[in-house]
Structure 1
Amino acid sequence: MYKATVNVTLRKSILDPKGKAAHHALKDLGLTEVENVRIGKLIELNIDADNKDTAYDIAEDACTKLLANEVMEDFEITIQKN
């Protein structure tokens, strides 16, 4: 059993209204040191696979088919033995 952690973020070229709103709110709270905020999503998958490479391939397939919009989002996959 493997645990895939998928970090999905908007591509740099895509505007992030949630990140912009959070950035303004942080400034209003006095956290003026924060220069930029981008908001994404973290997804965890438990994958029953024979090896790490197969688990990665399954996670990548899940991302390209459903979990991430490759036109607007990038994703990064980390695999750990569970």
Structure 2
Amino acid sequence: MKIIRLTLGGLLLIAGILLTLLPGSILLLIGGLMLLSYDWPRARGWLKFSQATMRNSARKLDRFMLLRKLNKFK
């Protein structure tokens, strides 16, 4: 089971990196890190970092869209 988890996690990680550079989704990267984090502590750290980065960027985007919407009505 560990070999399958590491293989699938590695494939998802590589696909996620490629799709992050090309127009695509970063969810594959998160999925790959999640699978790898069961066995590698370093992957767990990268997973926490990427989740925090995505959370902060979503907050900034929400704030930008709200301010844009409020300025539209003035």
Give TM-score, length-normalised by structure 2: 0.26
Where is the helix percentage greater, Structure 1 or Structure 2?
2
Give TM-score, length-normalised by structure 1: 0.24
Q: Relative contact order, CA 8 A, sep 6+: which one is greater?
A: 1
